[in-house]
Amino acid sequence: MRHLLAALIVAFAVPATAQVQGVMLDEPVEMPAFVYTNDLGETFTERDLTDAWTIVMFGFLSCPDVCPFTLGNLEAAVSETSLRVRPDNVPKVVFISVDPDRDAETVSEYAKFFHPDFRSFTGARDQIDALVEATDSFYRIMTPDSSGYYEVQHSSSVSVIAPDGTLRAKLQPPFDPGQTAEFLARMQISYRKELSQ
Amino acid sequence: MKRLALALMCLPGLAFADGVSVENPIIPLAPPGVAAHAAFMSITNTGDTPRQLIGVSAPAYAMAHIHESTEKDGVAMMSAVDLVEIGPGTTVTFEHGGLHFMLMKPKAPVSEGDMIELSLEFANGEVEQVTAMVMKRHKAHDHSGHGHDKHHDHKHGS
């Protein structure tokens, strides 16, 4: 027993010293029904969450620093993940703009810029709020300045949704590609173990 | 040394005013249609007196501001910065997750390889002209973690 305990301590001590790239949820969280659209007429609904791993990120297009950096790193992380998991387990990346007033006309171009398979959408306020709330995310549209320009605050973490359509984990900055890929690969192993039980 | 200084002065993207030098000015290429761009660089005060950066202008854009990204309790936010103090002999690095020059509404489409003129305004009335190159983000990003000097430690002045 003591040996087992020692082994456990070692096992937990190692990840603790590495940078935290993600947090697995204790219990999977069901996602609500939602529908998002983009300027190409594509839609993204809760039915698109099933049969694949999905990473959902909330942001806005007038975000010069954090959003492009996050998507750039997610591109690298997903590319790393593709070296570790089966092709059909490589996560899809979906960007949801919480700023439809400014972004609706061009939103489809945004995520694609970072990877041709990344997709981006926006939607009605209640649709945005439904998924923001269900994923324990956050955003706030700030008061416009005299020129009408406004800032948007938003969660820096992104949500990982399993092929059963439930939220399983949150990924956090700095989204180190190798460590994020390792986290995602390990999470998929524990997901499959859980399914086979 | 004189030859080195001359060589440095001939490099594009480097600018010298009295006591101020700027290195690695870049603008990561933004996705098409995006009206908010960011410029990053390192600004070193090589003189003996503190310098205060108080503004930026960019003729190619409708608006330019000094901005800072911050993260608090998992929420990413941005705020305008009025003044960045740069002490003698210190470098302030404008980089991801911290200070950046926010450039709004380009007057013409901005493409990879474009050279964008910026004027950094200091409290003593001096203006530092900087030419920033537009480059793909992954190229700029590739340098991170490999000891590239734009990522060295620094103190934010705001």
Is residue B52 situated within a structural domain?
A: yes
Cβ–Cβ gap A61/B38 under 8 Å:
no
The continuous run of DSSP H or E covering A77 comes out as helix A66-81
Is residue B110 situated within a structural domain?
A: yes
The reported pLDDT for the residue numbered B26 is 97
B138 contact residues in A (CB cutoff 8 A): 72, 75-76
- Contacts of residue A169, Cβ cutoff 8 Å, sequence gap at least 6: A22, A23, A24, A25, A159, A160, A183, A187
Is residue B72 situated within a structural domain?
A: yes
Give A87's DSSP letter.
Answer: G
pLDDT over 70, % of chain B: 76
Mind listing the pLDDT tens digit for each residue in A98-127? Answer: 999 999 999 999 999 999 999 999 999 999
The residue-averaged pLDDT of A147-175 equals 94
Question: In the numeric block, which tokens belong to residue B140?
Answer: 């700029």
The residue-averaged pLDDT of B6-17 equals 49
The continuous run of DSSP H or E covering B77 comes out as strand B75-80
Which residue segment(s) compose the domain that B86 sits in? 2-141
Is residue B151 situated within a structural domain?
A: no
Residue A55, pLDDT above cutoff 60:
yes
pLDDT confidence band for B157 (50 / 70 / 90):
very low
Please give the radius of gyration of chain A, using alpha carbons only, rounded to the nearest integer.
18
Lowest average pLDDT, out of A7-11, A54-58, B63-67, B146-150, goes to B146-150
Is residue B117 situated within a structural domain?
A: yes
Cβ–Cβ gap A68/B31 under 8 Å:
yes
HEC profile of B1-56 = CHHHHHHHHHCCCCEEECCEEEEEEEEECCCCCCCEEEEEEEEEECCCCCEEEEEE
Is residue B148 situated within a structural domain?
A: no
Bridge-based pairing state of the strands A54-59 and A92-97: parallel
pLDDT over 70, % of chain A: 90
The reported pLDDT for the residue numbered B119 is 97
A113 contact residues in B (CB cutoff 8 A): 30-32
The sign one gets for the Cα dihedral B157, A140, A77, B113 is negative
Domain ranges of chain A: 29-189
Cβ–Cβ gap A65/B38 under 8 Å:
yes
Residue A167, pLDDT above cutoff 60:
yes
The reported pLDDT for the residue numbered A4 is 46
Cβ–Cβ gap B36/A61 under 8 Å:
yes
Cβ–Cβ gap A68/B137 under 8 Å:
yes
Name the domain count of chain B.
1
Residue A94, pLDDT above cutoff 90:
yes
Q: Is the CATH number of domain A29-189 3.50.50.60?
A: no
Higher pLDDT, A108 or B17: A108
Give A106's DSSP letter.
Answer: T
- Contacts of residue B28, Cβ cutoff 8 Å, sequence gap at least 6: A68, B37, B38, B40, B134, B135, B136, B137, B140
Mind listing the pLDDT tens digit for each residue in A2-33? Answer: 444 444 444 444 444 456 789 999 999 999 99
Is residue B74 situated within a structural domain?
A: yes
Mind listing the pLDDT tens digit for each residue in B116-125? Answer: 999 999 999 9
Question: In this structure, what is the dihedral angle of CA atoms A2, A3, A6, A8, given to the nearest 10 degrees?
Answer: -110
For B146, the 3-state DSSP assignment is coil
The reported pLDDT for the residue numbered B42 is 97
Distance of alpha carbon B17 from alpha carbon B118, whole angstroms: 14
A143 lies within 8 A of chain B by CB:
no
Contact between A34 and A127 under an 8 Å Cβ cutoff? The reply is: yes
Residue B102's CB is within 10 A of a number of other CB atoms, namely 27
Q: Which of B124, B5, B28, B42 is closest to A113 using CA atoms?
A: B28
A38 lies within 8 A of chain B by CB:
no
CATH number at residue B51: 2.60.40.1890
Residue in chain B nearest A152 by alpha carbon: B77
Direct distance between the N- and C-terminal alpha carbons of chain A, in angstroms, rounded to an integer? 25
In sequence order, what DSSP letters do the residues of A1-50 get, joined into one string? -HHHHHHHHHHHHHHHHSPP-EEEEEEEEEPPP-EEE-TTS-EEEGGGGB
Mind listing the pLDDT tens digit for each residue in B41-83? Answer: 999 999 999 999 999 999 999 999 999 999 998 999 998 999 9
Distance of alpha carbon A38 from alpha carbon A34, whole angstroms: 14
Is residue B152 situated within a structural domain?
A: no
pLDDT confidence band for B138 (50 / 70 / 90):
low
